[in-house]
Chains A and B, each alone.
Chain A
Amino acid sequence: RFSPCQVSSAAAASGGYPKRVKVVEVGPRDGLQNEKNVVPTPVKINLINMLSETGLQVIEATSFVSPKWVPQMADHTEVMQGINKLPGISYPVLTPNLKGFQAAVAAGAKEVSIFGAASELFTKKNINCSIEESLERFDEVMRAAREASIPVRGYVSCVLGCPYEGKISAAKVAEVSKKMYSMGCYEISLGDTIGVGTPGSMKEMLTMVMKEVPVGALAVHCHDTYGQALANILVALQMGVSVVDASVAGLGGCPYAQGASGNVATEDLVYMLNGLGIHTGVDLQKLMDTGTFICNALNRRTNSKVSQASCRL
């Protein structure tokens, strides 16, 4: 009988792939924020606690943004204070501005993230200012974080396409990434926000960005809206990227295409990495169990194909 957890890793991680990949789990934040149904605080806490037992090293816990804008994350303080914080695991939180940063630190956050974009229109529609203005706002956060010795992760949205502008120039992505890296972000996560990228555009974009930011500081955050995520991630790995964002059970639809999928499923990513002999430290079975838990709580089917296939074998 076949079990996905026993996929042979005899296929060595040679031939141009990193030996290890850090998986950044964004389900509790990016995932839950983009789900139709809202789950109560204890469920969120249990989800994060279960994820903490899977071997994942980074779990994005919540977002310190005004509940007026993101009601799903209104319980950010309770979540941050309620979760088990295991040693060796990072629990970054989103902080869109200084106020959010201060609230996050007060609630016990030890790592934060800021969100930029490679598209002016997207920035305008999303946070009502220009890219330049958004980076100025982040400057305050960077300064405060530096003083408090808090690492900051930078996200760049729309790196392979924008719901408003359409095509996005790779040079623009490189420019914004460079700015955020220079401001002090230790890592830049490049997000294919609407999932339109393909291995072709991924390669082109990374080639430009890698001229400005060392590959060791790069991550990819691929959406599976057009089914391209794993192929795009594969190309990124081939180019030396070794940090990949994913969401348990593929939580989080696409807000720009009703009913379409969004985040790539962590289970499917880990399955692929296992098959490539790349070390992640993640226990796929425990991950699948966590996915089952949150899908039951959300009363929805999983978006992970590995999970779908496995529970019938």
Chain B
Amino acid sequence: ELQASGLPEYIKIVEVGPRDGLQNEKVIVPTDIKIELINQLSKTGLPAIEVTSFVSSKWVPQMADHKEVMRGIERHPGVQYPVLTPNLQGFHSAIAAGATEVSVFGAASESFSKMNINCSIEESIEKFEEVTKSARNMNIPVRGYVSCALGCPYEGNVVPDKVAEVSKRLYSMGCYEISLGDTIGVGTPGSMKKMLEAVMKEIPLSALAVHCHDTYGQALANILTAIQMGVAVVDSSVAGLGGCPYAKGATGNVATEDVIYMLNGLGINTGVNLYAVMEAGNFICTALNKKTNSKVAQASFSIGTIN
């Protein structure tokens, strides 16, 4: 549904802080802190919170407690709690732990796929097909991610048609939504527009999401471009948790608070309480002993009032 302004009336925010965020933080937080963070986020009005990743703890030690987290969190009605499942084994483990939605991660770059999960895009698609087949049998929705949608740390420029091709494969195999990730944050409104135009030829708009990184400060401008084109699902991370693993010390995920501030200003409904998110952000930053990456939070706590 579009407003008179041409912008969506409602945007679904997918909160990736507890997974994408914490996975890319230097400090590992204990299980009870993760659970408390997710429980606080569940009370903010966020419709989807990515909880953890059922990947081998050998590769991602920060997510080693996936079972405990999955079992330990409060499950609020109306809130989705997707988890990452890179393969069938992870999928079964996730289901056994109570997961009711899963995500698979593809990439638009062969080099990235090879470096990240040690196989080609095609091979990774085959693995995901096993997951989506099992998921379909169990009525479990699957979300598909496409990394490097606007650039790759190894290949540089990524061709929009390639992003469209990989997105189409994931959508055709049964992913209900495709989240297009600007993994290293190099995208700009120019490249975002070109990429979305190519992808929108293959995937219905309502099945698209954008996952922008703020490494080059472009995230909100890129998100604005996407929503001007009708995209109505946006991924973000409370307090901007999660640095960029490809540029040491640089930022990664866009901060949920800053996204909501912008959407509020545009009169777009998200159902999310900004103050509540800032409080959750304050909680996790204290636990991580770090400053928030959210400018809204920084400004609001500085002046002691919240505009």
- Chain B residues with CB under 8 A of A11: 188, 190-191, 193-194
A200 touches B266 (CB 8 A): yes
* Chain A residue with the shortest CB-CB distance to B150: A275
A125 an interface residue at 8 Å Cβ cutoff? no
**Contacting pair B299 A260 (CB below 8 A):** yes
- Closest Cβ of chain B to A81, distance in Å, is 36
The tally of residues in B whose CB lies under 8 Å from a CB in A reads 48
A265 pairs with B191, CB closer than 8 A: no
Stretch binding the partner chain, chosen from B44-52, B68-76, B168-176, B255-263: B255-263
A-B residue pairs in contact (CB < 8 Å), sample of 22 = A1-B156, A2-B156, A2-B184, A4-B186, A8-B191, A11-B191, A195-B299, A197-B265, A199-B262, A201-B265, A226-B299, A227-B294, A228-B258, A257-B299, A257-B303, A258-B303, A260-B302, A260-B303, A305-B216, A308-B250, A312-B248, A313-B246
Closest residue on chain B to residue A225 by CB atoms: B299
Q: Which of B218, B250, B302 contacts A275 (CB 8 A)?
A: B218
- The yes or no answer to A98 lying at the interface (CB within 8 A) is no
Q: Which chain B residues lie closer than 8 Å to A258 at the CB level?
A: 302-303
Is B220 among interface residues, defined by CB-CB distance under 8 A?
yes
Q: Which of B257-307 contact A (CB under 8 A)?
A: 258, 261-262, 264-267, 294-296, 298-299, 302-303, 307
Q: Which residues of A contact B (CB under 8 A)?
A: 1-2, 4, 6-11, 15, 161, 166, 195-201, 224-228, 230-231, 233-235, 254, 256-261, 265, 268, 271-272, 274-277, 304-306, 308-310, 312-313
Contact with A231, one of B193, B221, B244, B267 (Cβ below 8 angstroms): B221
Is B31 close to A, CB under 8 A? no
Q: A226-B299, A228-B220, A274-B188 are in contact. List 18 more A-B contacts (CB 8 A).
A: A2-B156, A226-B307, A230-B217, A234-B224, A256-B303, A257-B298, A257-B299, A258-B302, A259-B298, A260-B295, A268-B217, A275-B218, A276-B190, A305-B214, A308-B250, A309-B250, A309-B251, A312-B250
User: Which residues of chain A are within 8 angstroms of B296 by Cβ–Cβ distance?
Assistant: 226-227
Within 8 A of A (CB), among B184-217: 184-191, 193-194, 214-217
| A272 and B221 contact, CB distance less than 8 A | yes
**Least CB separation from A2: chain B residue:** B156
B299, A309: Cβ atoms closer than 8 Å: no
Given contacts A11-B188, A231-B224, A312 and B262 within 8 Å (CB-CB): no
Choose from A1, A226, A276, A310 the contact partner of B188 (Cβ within 8 Å): A276
Interface string of B207-249 (1 = CB under 8 A from A): 0000000111110110111000000000000000000101111
Judged by a CB distance under 8 angstroms, whether B120 is at the interface is no
B264:A198 contact, CB within 8 angstroms: yes
Q: Assess whether B218 is in contact with A271, with CB atoms less than 8 Å apart.
A: yes
Q: Given the complex of chains A and B, what is the CA–CA distance between A2 and B215 in angstroms?
A: 13
Report the minimal beta-carbon distance from B290 to chain A, rounded to whole angstroms.
14
- Chain B residues, Cβ within 8 Å of A10: 194
Contact A234 B193 (CB under 8 A): no
Among A7, A198, A257, the residue within 8 A (CB) of B261 is A198
Binding site for A on B (CB under 8 A): 151-153, 156-157, 184-191, 193-194, 214-218, 220-221, 223-225, 244, 246-251, 255, 258, 261-262, 264-267, 294-296, 298-299, 302-303, 307
Whether A257 touches B220, Cβ cut-off 8 Å, given contacts A274-B188, A313-B247, is no
Q: For B217, what are the chain A residues with a Cβ–Cβ distance below 8 Å?
A: 230, 265, 268, 271-272, 304-306
Chain B residue numbers with a CB within 8 Å of A2 are 151-153, 156, 184, 186
A198 to B194: give the CA distance in the assembly, Å. Answer: 24
Asked if B264 contacts A275 (CB within 8 A), the reply is: no
Shortest beta-carbon distance from B189 to chain A in Å: 6
Chain B residues with CB under 8 A of A306: 216-217
Q: Which residues of B contact A272 (CB under 8 A)?
A: 188-189, 217-218, 221
- Contacting residues, chain B, for A9 (C-beta < 8 A): 190
Residues in chain B near residue A226, CB distance under 8 A? 258, 261, 295-296, 299, 307
**B221: which A residues are within 8 A, CB to CB?**
230-231, 233-234, 272
Q: Which residues of B contact A4 (CB under 8 A)?
A: 186, 216
A134 CB to nearest chain B CB (Å): 25
**Cβ contact within 8 Å between B188 and A271:** yes
Q: How far is the CA of A268 from the CA of B220 in the complex (A)?
A: 12
Residues from chain B with a CB closer than 8 A to the CB of A274 are 188
Pick from B247, B295, B302: contact of A309, CB below 8 A: B247
B214: chain A residues at CB < 8 Å are 305
Contact B216 A309 (CB under 8 A): yes
Cα distance A233–B189 in the bound complex, in angstroms = 12
For A230, the chain B residues whose CB sits under 8 A away are 217-218, 220-221
Q: Can you name the residue of chain B whose Cβ is closest to the Cβ of A12?
A: B190
B189 touches A271 (CB 8 A): no
Are A234 and B265 within 8 A (Cβ)?
Answer: no
Nearest 9 CB-CB pairings of A with B: A198-B265, A275-B188, A11-B190, A305-B217, A227-B295, A268-B217, A227-B258, A309-B250, A257-B302
- CB A230 to nearest CB in B, in angstroms, measures 4
A285: shortest Cβ distance to chain B, in Å?
A: 14
Q: Which residues from chain A contact B216 at a C-beta distance below 8 Å?
A: 4, 268, 271, 305-306, 309
State the CA gap A260–B303 with chains docked (Å). 9
Asked if A308 and B249 make an inter-chain contact with CB atoms under 8 angstroms apart, the answer reads yes
Q: Are A234 and B225 closer than 8 Å at their CB atoms? A: yes
Q: Report the separation of the CA atoms of residues A310 and B249 in the bound assembly, to the nearest whole angstrom.
A: 10
Q: For B294, what are the chain A residues with a Cβ–Cβ distance below 8 Å?
A: 227
